[in-house]
């Protein structure tokens, strides 16, 4: 009951200030974007939209998506779902992470298919939507890697590859990556991408605030991309 009253009070405040960019929004963020893009977004919000406070809640895409649907979160930055998004919600793509084969620096082979067929494979967890993108590529190419581990952390995967425990096929997510690694990144021809974006409900008491966040997120993503190309 107390939680319902608090949420009701927040909704009334949001309605009262609907035409103003003042208030708090709850935003879920997948782990690879917390260090890769979120700092730039928060800096932009602080400078351009100082009246909006962002309550960040980390999590996995599947869970964050459900929280946006049930209203626990006002928005989320996550991997694009492998199904149609409800018409009640807005999806804005922020970036596309191409798939790469990752090996240790000592690996001599350069052919992607040969590496994936012969080397011990460290798999990106298939419960993740990004992991399903990887799985889709392997099935399309009729590849059955020699699975050694299956992990839900991209950071953990790259560390294991660095230590020579296997190779992997993962999205080339935004830096920073763990420091001190000596890795080889090999581009994969005709591979699908892991698309990352922001999702939120179209009509809500905080739609003005969430739309402002979405705009700054898109600007930050473009600026980051330009920086990486230079």
Q: 32 and 110 share a domain?
A: no
Q: 199 and 91 share a domain?
A: yes
Q: 25 and 53 share a domain?
A: yes
Q: Check which CATH number belongs to the domain holding 126 and give it.
A: 3.40.190.10
Q: 88 and 200 share a domain?
A: yes
* Cβ-contact 33, 77 below 8 angstroms: yes
pLDDT for residue 115: 97
- Please state whether the predicted TM-score (pTM) of the whole model is above 0.95: no
* Cβ-contact 55, 26 below 8 angstroms: yes
What's the domain count of the chain?
2
pLDDT for residue 158: 97
Read off the pLDDT of residues 85-132 as tens digits, 9 standing for 90 and up: 999 999 999 999 999 999 999 999 999 999 999 999 999 999 999 999
pLDDT category at 12 given cuts 50, 70, 90 is: low
Q: 182 and 107 share a domain?
A: yes
pLDDT for residue 9: 62
The candidate with the shortest Cα–Cα distance to 171, out of 140, 122, 131, 139, is 131
Residue 11, pLDDT above cutoff 90? no
Question: Containing domain of residue 202, as a range?
Answer: 2-95+195-229
pLDDT for residue 142: 96
If one counts every other C-beta atom within 10 angstroms of the C-beta of residue 66, the result is 14
Q: 112 and 182 share a domain?
A: yes
Q: 70 and 90 share a domain?
A: yes
Residue 13, pLDDT above cutoff 80? no
Q: 122 and 147 share a domain?
A: yes
Q: 43 and 119 share a domain?
A: no
pLDDT category at 204 given cuts 50, 70, 90 is: confident
H helices within 119-172, ranges in order?
129-140, 154-162
Q: 167 and 199 share a domain?
A: no
pLDDT for residue 6: 63
Token pair 């991309």: residue: 225
pLDDT category at 134 given cuts 50, 70, 90 is: very high
Q: 129 and 200 share a domain?
A: no
pLDDT for residue 230: 78
3-class state of residue 14 by DSSP:
helix
Q: 15 and 46 share a domain?
A: yes
Read off the pLDDT of residues 42-83 as tens digits, 9 standing for 90 and up: 999 999 999 999 999 999 999 999 999 999 999 999 999 999
Residue 19, pLDDT above cutoff 70? no
């Amino acid at each position: 009951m107390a939680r319902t009253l608090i949420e009701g009070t927040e909704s009334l405040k949001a309605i009262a200030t609907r035409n103003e960019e003042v208030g708090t929004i709850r935003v879920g963020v997948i782990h690879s974007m917390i260090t890769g893009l979120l700092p730039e977004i928060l800096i932009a919000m602080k400078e351009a939209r100082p009246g909006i406070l962002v309550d960040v809640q980390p999590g996995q895409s599947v869970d964050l998506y459900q929280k946006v649907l049930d209203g626990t979160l006002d928005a989320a930055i996550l991997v694009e779902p492998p199904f149609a998004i409800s018409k009640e919600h807005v999806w804005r793509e922020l970036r596309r992470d191409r798939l790469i084969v990752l090996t240790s620096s000592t690996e001599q082979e350069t052919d992607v298919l040969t590496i994936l067929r012969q080397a011990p494979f460290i798999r990106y967890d298939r419960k993740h939507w990004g992991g399903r993108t990887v799985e889709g590529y392997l099935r399309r190419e009729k590849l059955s890697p020699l699975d050694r581990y299956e992990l839900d952390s991209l950071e953990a995967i790259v560390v294991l590859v660095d230590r020579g425990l296997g190779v992997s096929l993962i999205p080339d997510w935004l830096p920073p990556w763990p420091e001190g690694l000596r890795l080889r990144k090999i581009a994969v021809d005709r591979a699908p991408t892991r698309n990352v974006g922001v999702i939120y409900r179209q009509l809500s008491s905080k739609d003005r605030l969430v739309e402002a966040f979405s705009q700054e997120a898109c600007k930050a993503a473009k600026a980051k991309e330009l920086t990486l190309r230079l």
